[in-house]
Amino acid sequence: MLKPYDLLDSVLNEIEDRLKDDIDYNYLADKFSISSSHLRKIFTIAFGQSIGTYIRSRKLAASIGDLLKTDQNIINIALDYGFEFEQSYIRAFKREYGLTPGDLRKTGQFIQINPPLHLFNSSKVKDGVLLGPDLVMIPQFYLIGKMHKVTFRDDLVLCPQIANNFVNYERCKIPNIKNYNMHISLCRTALTDNYHPDYSLFMPAALVKNLKNIPEGFDHYTFPSSLCARFCFISPKGSEVNMAAADALFKAIDDFMDDENQKFFLERKRINFERFDSLAFGGLYHQWEWYAPVTKKTENHIQKTPSGIINTYKQKVPSLRFIGKKYKESISDFNYKKILDNIDTCRLNNEFELIEKQTTMELKKLYEGGNADIGLIKINNEYAEYWLGIFMPEGTEISPQLLQQGYEVIDFPKSTLGVCTVYGKRDAIINYHDKCKNKFPVPEKWFFQRFNWHRFYEEDKFGNRLLDYCYFI
């Protein structure tokens, strides 16, 4: 069985190689051992058009070269490209381009063709393929589930556990479920109109026909009809939605939000939901979709808070062990963007997941950066040394797997941090060390950038983020 990305890539290549053959979705389904209905579905999700329409469009585009460069009869060209009758070819050509093949030969008119589709490498994530965004109108639907208050520090660990527990033990108690192979996870801000800085409301739920007979102890929600942005991740049966897939998804969401030409504002802070379907393709693949409402940008989406340093304070921290990977570069080659790029690489390789599994609730209570990604930095006149990793409780053992991947430890005693919080666009705020370092007396040689999950990795409605620069003072 081909993985989703490889399947789509192979289908596109096969279509281009066989434009003069009798090719359709049934032939492709047989060749790649997938049902024709599942192939049509995944192709439409990936490219926003039916596979039959695309094949016809590519055949017509390829036939233009023969029309303009040869003296072949139109009927022969039609037959060469798999059209059974000349009139079928002429009608399809006119629908596609607004003129007949004969008119094109006579006038030499310029026409726009649809080029071959292709997949970007960024769409390939581990064993799956990430698709989107596209805009879809979602009709009103009803959910019954159990609402949980989850702090942002713990949501990566707790939300999957809560969702799995719901699917395995709670969902069976709900009547009128529309699809037992699907479950939905709804995430809302804890305040009705404003983003709460500490936690959100998370509700794993079942899609139901109506809100009658809600079981005792369960909650319900009516999602109104909304225009939504949709991102879709398709992976082989048996694989899980992992950190690599999540990171790729949220990077795609960031790109959507950071696009200054984007006419829509994504309301993901207010509400979003994920839909998981284990039998979307007859059990061959799993489908994970993420949705959030969009609205047209208005004056309210124009930033009013100036970018830059917005807060400085001191923070006491316990004794900590840093587990990370070391990098060293000359001053001339070093830039702060490399830190973020390398963190992204570590996450895409699932390396930080091994560290996060050892994070304790006690550490998170003692130290607010207990599960933040850290860029630990030391700079002199000749070189920059930086480590990428996570702070852990003192004495935490490093696993053999991390040691094999080049991870090491640095121990820091109980100390006080000078924290400088910067607000602004992602690429701007990663270069604020020179402005922040003068806010505190005699910083020691080490300092670090603290990439908190919901402060840095998620932007506010103006597309801005928060980044902490921390100095041992």
Average pLDDT, the chain: 84
Does residue 461 share a domain with residue 402?
Answer: yes
pLDDT, position 193: 46
Mean pLDDT computed over 306-324: 87
Does residue 375 share a domain with residue 331?
Answer: yes
- Contacts of residue 266, defined as CB under 8 A and 6 or more positions apart, other chains included, come to 229, 253, 256, 257, 292, 293, 294
Residue 465 lies in a domain: yes
Looking at the predicted structure, is the pLDDT value of residue 396 above 90? no
Mean pLDDT computed over 172-178: 92
Looking at the predicted structure, is the pLDDT value of residue 191 above 60? no
Does residue 388 share a domain with residue 258?
Answer: no
Q: List the one residue out of 311, 309, 138 whose CA is nearest residue 225.
A: 138
Does residue 286 share a domain with residue 166?
Answer: yes
Q: Where are any strands of DSSP class E within 166-198?
A: 182-189
Does residue 245 share a domain with residue 228?
Answer: yes
pLDDT-based confidence at residue 2 (cuts at 50, 70, 90): confident
Residue range 346-356, pLDDT digits in tens: 766 667 776 76
pLDDT, position 299: 61
Does residue 276 share a domain with residue 406?
Answer: no
Does residue 284 share a domain with residue 182?
Answer: yes
How far is the C-alpha of 20 from the C-alpha of 30, rounded, in Å?
19
Spatial contact of 217 and 248, defined as CB atoms under 8 Å apart: no
Last residue of a domain, one of 259, 279, 301: 301
pLDDT, position 411: 92
Does residue 150 share a domain with residue 62?
Answer: no
pLDDT, position 287: 87
Mean pLDDT computed over 399-416: 88
Residue 47 lies in a domain: yes
Residue 117 lies in a domain: no
Residue 50's CATH number:
1.10.10.60
Q: What percent of the chain has pLDDT over 90?
A: 34
Residue 178 lies in a domain: yes
Looking at the predicted structure, is the pLDDT value of residue 192 above 70? no
Q: Long-range contact list for 238-242, CB < 8 A, 24+ apart?
A: 239/126, 239/127, 239/128, 239/286, 241/276, 241/286, 241/288, 242/126, 242/350, 242/353
Find residue 182's DSSP bridge partners: 277
Residue 232 lies in a domain: yes
Mean pLDDT computed over 461-470: 84
Higher pLDDT, 268 or 41: 41
Residue 254's CATH number:
3.20.80.10
Looking at the predicted structure, is the pLDDT value of residue 16 above 50? yes
Residue 92 lies in a domain: yes
Q: List the one residue out of 56, 67, 39, 68 whose CA is nearest residue 114.
A: 56
Residue 116 lies in a domain: no
Tokens of residue 325, six digits = 């990977």
The residue behind tokens 């094999």 is 404
How far is the C-alpha of 224 from the C-alpha of 245, rounded, in Å?
28
Range of the structural domain that residue 18 is part of = 4-107
Does residue 336 share a domain with residue 232?
Answer: no
- Contacts of residue 121, defined as CB under 8 A and 6 or more positions apart, other chains included, come to none
Least confident stretch, 87-96, 299-308, 454-463: 299-308
Last residue of a domain, one of 254, 271, 301: 301
Looking at the predicted structure, is the pLDDT value of residue 207 above 60? yes
Q: Where are any strands of DSSP class E within 210-284?
A: 219-223, 226-236, 264-266, 271-277
Does residue 329 share a domain with residue 199?
Answer: no
Does residue 405 share a domain with residue 283?
Answer: no
pLDDT-based confidence at residue 194 (cuts at 50, 70, 90): very low
Mean pLDDT computed over 75-89: 93
Does residue 351 share a domain with residue 452?
Answer: yes
Helix (H, G, I), strand (E, B) or coil at 373: strand
Least confident stretch, 47-61, 360-374, 414-428: 360-374
Q: List the one residue out of 237, 233, 257, 230 whose CA is nearest residue 247.
A: 233
Confidence (pTM): 0.66
- Contacts of residue 308, defined as CB under 8 A and 6 or more positions apart, other chains included, come to 422, 423, 424, 435
Last residue of a domain, one of 301, 319, 348: 301
The listed range with the strongest mean pLDDT (180-194, 261-275, 301-315) is 261-275
Number of independent structural domains in the chain: 3
CA distances from 267 to 107, 230, 284, 297, 462 (A): 50, 12, 33, 11, 11
Residue 141 lies in a domain: yes
Looking at the predicted structure, is the pLDDT value of residue 10 above 90? yes
